[in-house]
Amino acid sequence: MPYPAFVELCEVGPRDGFQFEEKPIPTDLKVAIIEGLVAAGLRRIQVTSFVHPKWVPQMADAEEVVARLPAREGIVYTGLALNLRGLERAHAAGLTHVDLSIATNETHSRDNANMTVAEGVRQAEEMIRRAHAYGMQPQLGLQTVFGYAAPGDTPLPFVVDLCARFAALGVESISLADSTGMANPVMIRERVTAVQEVIGDTPLVLHLHDTRGLGLANVVAALACGVARFDTSLGGMGGCPFIPGATGNIATEDTVYLLDALGVPTGVDLAKVAACTRRLEAFLGKRLPGKMHRLVAPAEAPAS
């Protein structure tokens, strides 16, 4: 089966990656990194999350980050909102796209959002209606789709029903998250094709973590199913504090390298993304888990 003619990478490092770091990242550096990612050719970037700073101190400057990002044609900045208050803040900040997220496992839902899965679904439906009223594009993500305590323990019929339900509400896209990194190529093919059958023209996104080293193998399996949008994180940053042992997202640079090798264009300059990652490594004082950012020739780092 031929691969898609073009793949869009959605950079989630400035949210999913930054919020996992204990060392406070200055707003100036956050903005500089995001601008560097734009310069590298990324056109869809999740720049922050609108959550209470008591729980996620790293995201306390959400409004300031958004206010300082230059509006550029063809660039979509998104922000994560976990409740109606977060949605209101995203709208007030001026974002046109908002990311919503639902747990599919009861334990994870209570740990991550302090509500049941059913309560999370009802809240997401109201958030979608509110986002539409504001003229915003809601993007819906489902967590732990490929397993929580064990691979495949999230029932596939439940996932399919949720996807059909939310596609009918008019979301901009639906994302399937391998939050625990339990997916494998066989599961990817099974679950992606089942969801594709019920969501019509709604774009399908995969949010893959590399906990068990199968992240890029899962990308190849998804490409064969026609998936043309993936969440990635510079340097492989990220994780989830409520999932023991969870590691970062698939690295943006590693994914670009893979897609280049397969002849699938992304419009992303690997060396320029790597410059952003190396700058973060220098600030954080540690190595990030991605591979290619250490192997490519240095590129000019984003200006402060």
Q: Which residues form the catalytic set? A: 240
Asked whether the beta carbons of 245 and 23 are under 8 A apart, the reply is no
* 115, two tokens: 């509500």
E strand spans, 13-162: 44-49, 76-80, 97-103, 137-143
Of 66, 71, 80, 1, nearest to 240 (Cα)? Answer: 80
Round to whole Å and give the CA distance between 259 and 254. 9
Token pair listed for 220 = 């190849």
DSSP string, 54-83: TT-GGGTTHHHHHHTSPP-TT-EEEEE-SS
Q: Where are the beta strands (DSSP E) in 110-259?
A: 137-143, 173-178, 204-208, 229-232
User: Would you say 277 and 253 are in contact if contact means Cβ atoms under 8 Å apart?
Assistant: yes
Beta pairing partners, 143? 103
